[in-house]
Structure 1
Amino acid sequence: MNDLLSIPCVLMRGGTSKGPFFLAADLPTDPAARDQVLLSVMGSGHPLQIDGIGGGNPITSKVAIIGRSTVPGVHVDYLFAQVRVDQQIVDTSPNCGNMLAAVGPFAIEAGLVAVSGETTIVRINNVNTGKVIEAEVPTPYGKVAYLGDAAIDGVPGRAAPIALTFMDAAGARTGRLFPTGAPIENINGVDVTCIDCAMPMILMEAEAFGVSGYETSAELNANSALLQRMEAVRLSAGELMGMGDVREQVTPKPVLVSRPRNGGALNVRYFMPHECHPSLATTGAVGIATACISEGTVASHLVGVRTPPIILSLEHPSGSLDVKLQQRDGKIVAGILRTARRLFEGRVFAKPVKNLICAA
């Protein structure tokens, strides 16, 4: 008799990330039991995640859990889980905007949202942050379309475009755009901007760490002295931002910024937090772009005065990512174009855990 748990699962690419998507009803209601299932599914605690379906990299060790919304006027709840590769830790404190790109298509195909014309708008409540995001999903002929002509840097080929609109991303974790109360702080002799917009981050000029900011991800990942110094700043920033001891959290994310080289507004290197992202996180892009239009930040020092409505192009190791910023009802609304693809569907197997009570 098979003693493994068998759980319905869809593997999806969302933006430049990839991971399993689950219906909330198919996972334990107890968070500790749920996390044990996710750790087993992904194979965490091994650098290759050899005993699971994780890809051995932070951008392929992500999980999305989708259920019917608990918020009026919103279609679905989306809980994101960053499952550590090297340690058996599940962090549900941040959001992931790349995985978010696949939430709309998944929800429609799971029967949680009805198709409504050529384009179906899916309103998503991100449980991690309590923020609402709108996804415009192409649904010609009454079903989700994945093939199309849109291209995003960091993903090969072309696919159908999915427009994400972050309705009010400020204070996603701490409740304030600048959690320390100021756009600039000095930590360990380095001027930093601690910002919480879609994702808590620490923005720092690359030159302050003795690098140009134009290095490849691999080059930065091999610079152990740089990583150690940034981690020391990150730990101090976490305390200043009111997040406490962040050693076992993936937020706040360190970001190195520098002047653009290829016609963009800013050049960035985004860390997750101990490894440089091969491109750029969607939530990170929203926060960095917001910092660009906020007076007195490390980013605005490099880009100069910028005011919405505006499209800012952020250069990253794989190309660039455009963020459209505009004001709506006195708040900054950020729009980003992403793509997604359904990769595999079936059942995934996990080791049994105690307190296995599912939501259904």
Structure 2
Amino acid sequence: MLGPYIDGIIFKFFGTSDAAILALRKGTVDMFWWGIQPGYLHDLEKDPDIRLFSNERSALYYWGFNVRKPPFRDVTLRQAIATLIDKDFIVTRILQGHGTRMDSVIPPGNKFWLCTDLPRYGEGLIKEDRIKKAHEILKNAGFTWDVPPVNETGEVVKGKGIRLPNGELMKKFTILTPPANYDPLRAMSGMIIQEWLKEAGIPVSAKPMSIGALLQKINSQHNFDAFILGFGRLDIDPDWLRRFFCSREDRRRGGNKSGYHNPDFDRIADESAATINREKRRSLIREMQRVIMRDVPYIPLYTPDLIEAVRKGKFSGWVETLEGIGNLWSFCELKPK
């Protein structure tokens, strides 16, 4: 018989992950209902009173540009930056293998809607070759350097003084990220990416910022250059693409954070919303992905595995699904031991 078999749920909020993990290990909470960062796993795996669950997420963690202003209005600059980012390094070293690289804005587990014939910027290239490829993209678009990152003999050197096609020196810009005590993965990704860009002569710094202030700058003020954020629990039906990228959503607190405008995308997106035939709609949504990954207002980075933890010996009946054990089925099946 389907439950619930529990009287209720008490939610406890903690200011940091450290405090929440400590509460779990002491037994003052029964479940850690949030993604556990890889840095905690070693100790938790050795704890005999803790059980870990790992499940796929329907999530998008990404770099976003402010394409409302220069220099990010230039698609070639966005493509070059996408080429410089080593997503495999981020997954293997920062996520410690607990995630999947993303090459579309639709999560890789959403296989019916996912388009696979997309540009995979920089895939398979070592760092020197990524710099060479980015240099080629930018040079062909009219960018110059005081000291190019690739010299006359083809050797990669530290680039300096990148200039826009109009000859102006590119101003230093900022990548906003959540702070490490909120999400160390995004904070560390920002720090690593800034170093990759600097090697190509692109002036940039990463700036961790409280999540509330960060979202205020992006959603309300539109006062930013670039950012690293994430969306979790995305619906399987990717109609949310319209909210993220349609021109009409470029407004105060709208869904279009980057300020991306493309009439072709708007037309295809609206047609997809009005289409009943599943296969035709699938074709339209795959075309939407092609447009986005050509124009790259967002650079999809990774989707992390969702790792959750519970106290052993308290409850049985946890149900694993996409997006983890914190779901209605678990709370209907849980029984005190």
TM-score range for the pair, normalised by the shorter chain length: under 0.3
Larger radius of gyration: 2
More strand by share: 1
More helix by share: 2
Normalising by structure 1, report the TM-score.
0.22
Normalising by structure 2, report the TM-score.
0.23
